[in-house]
A and B are shown apart, each in its own frame.
Chain A
């Protein structure tokens, strides 16, 4: 809804009343909340599984960069994912 701008030293956690989990039958991560669910693609799942209320956005960017050293423009993708997830109210700022 509103345009968020994510700063790299911010720390996020999964929002209240939301649950993030791996789904074996779907082979993907999902976000569950009252009356709805969203299936996440691989990249989105990689970002959200690192969101734990302790790691900063910069930490998560660095961690993903070291896991996927060959992928280009990872930082922009990760920040974009945070923008989306905050906009959707899946995440809350700690």
Chain B
């Protein structure tokens, strides 16, 4: 999948919307999975260096759910209250049953979104999606230059993306672009925004890379400097302030450069549910990296039980699991201690405070990463592109040194 931050950003958007006071319910703790993300396959024709998909995804390419299993999952999740449906991957269009999934989603009353690289989107398929009731298509774009697009995705897809953008527009879809931001394109922010306006985009999501999955393996190569991030934000704000620009911009804040962590997924098991290609049900995209957790699978567990009662979904719900410094922190309700996966990946302890927080005893790990972003030697290491060959190598234990060097623990 080409979009690394869908979960956080869409949920944050929903919550912001809910906080409108006049005539709208105030934000309250949710007990329903409003968002269902269907990661229907991990197969992908692109090889993006920043992909958040699991680095061992190769384990899950032979055991994908069938069409019938997906349709049953949509029905069951809808009964629980899921409304927004993201059909994602990998590249979802590598499956030939997305049309059937879209028709069922419409029948059930989902607001459905196809999240795609554009590879495999033809006139015939987009016509079928329109007739089937797909509500919108989110297209990943990478840069204004062919060179960077082709480099970071490790494919020649630049021209195709422009063609697909026009196709989406011609079929009357709102154009939602997603651009993952990293060292290689952050210097082109102004041109990226101008390109999006020229393509007629209605929404653009500038998703600063967050470091999970493949992007953590490649963090030294992808991470921009603090100065670059500040400049990118300044350009974004200037673009927003110009009344001639109509496009709505979502700027996903790069959490390493903040001093408090993000409220990851708007809280564990609060509004967001992911069903992976093989049917595992997760409260966040990368939860399977956590140790000693067993995530239920739609093939053998009722999804209502999974959401409400399973040990996995209750493990980090609310704040009872917290230890210091989170437990007694006056701000704990704001961010719920941040991201469990990030805590585990960087400190070795899933219950530690997110090291992004300046109150965390591990904050020095983040400061070091920011410092390292200035080091040209680290950036010059070869990128490990997301592909089957590298995934197999990672399953066999290669590239471990790329991750262990970030850890605080031996």
Q: Residues of A at under 8 Å CB distance from B?
A: 16-17, 19, 21, 23, 25-26, 28, 30, 32-41, 43-44, 47, 80-81, 84, 88
Contacts and interface: CB of A to CB of B under 8 A. Distances in A.
A17 B24 contact: no
A81 B202 CA distance: 25
* Residue of B23, B80, B111 contacting most chain A CB atoms (<10 Å): B23
B83 interface: yes
Interface in B2-44: 9-10, 13-14, 17-18, 20, 22-25, 32, 34
B79 interface: yes
A40 B17 contact: no
A17 B173 CA distance: 8
Given A35-B205, A37-B17, A37-B34, 7 more contacts: A25-B80, A26-B32, A28-B25, A32-B84, A35-B10, A84-B23, A88-B20
Given A41-B24, A80-B22, A84-B22, A36 B81 contact: no
A33 B136 CA distance: 9
Contacts of B25: 28, 39-41
A44 B32 contact: no
A17 B174 contact: yes
Contact of B23 (A16, A21, A25, A81): A81
Contacts, number: 76
11 contacts: A19-B135, A35-B10, A35-B13, A36-B13, A37-B83, A38-B18, A38-B20, A39-B24, A39-B25, A43-B23, A81-B22
Given A19-B111, A25-B32, A39-B25, A34 B18 contact: no
A35 B203 contact: yes
Contacts of A38: 14, 17-18, 20, 24
Given A17-B136, A43-B23, A80-B22, A34 B17 contact: no
B176 interface: yes
Contacts of A28: 25
A41 B109 CA distance: 20
A23 B109 CA distance: 9
A61 B109 CA distance: 29
Nearest to A81: B23
Contact of A36 (B17, B32, B80): B17
B158 interface: no
B367 to A, nearest CB: 32
Nearest to A30: B83
Contacts of A47: 23
B220 interface: no
Interface string B268-280: 0000000000000
B112 to A, nearest CB: 10
Contacts of A32: 83-84, 111, 135
B257 interface: no
B24 A23 contact: no
* Residue of A23, A28, A37 contacting most chain B CB atoms (<10 Å): A37
Nearest to B178: A35
A38 B34 CA distance: 11
Nearest to A43: B23
B6 to A, nearest CB: 9
Contacts of B10: 35-36
Contacts of B24: 38-41, 44
B113 interface: yes
B202 to A, nearest CB: 7
A37 B24 CA distance: 11
Contacts of B32: 25-26
B250 interface: yes
A34 B176 contact: yes
B202 A17 contact: yes
* Residue of A32, A36, A37, A88 contacting most chain B CB atoms (<10 Å): A36
Contacts of A35: 9-10, 13, 113, 138, 176, 203, 205, 250
* Residue of A16, A19, A39 contacting most chain B CB atoms (<10 Å): A39
A77 B284 CA distance: 40
Contacts of A84: 20, 22-23
B81 to A, nearest CB: 3
A77 to B, nearest CB: 8
Interface in B246-280: 250
A26 B78 CA distance: 11
A39 to B, nearest CB: 5
Contacts of A81: 22-23
B239 to A, nearest CB: 16
A36 B250 CA distance: 12
Contacts of A26: 32, 81
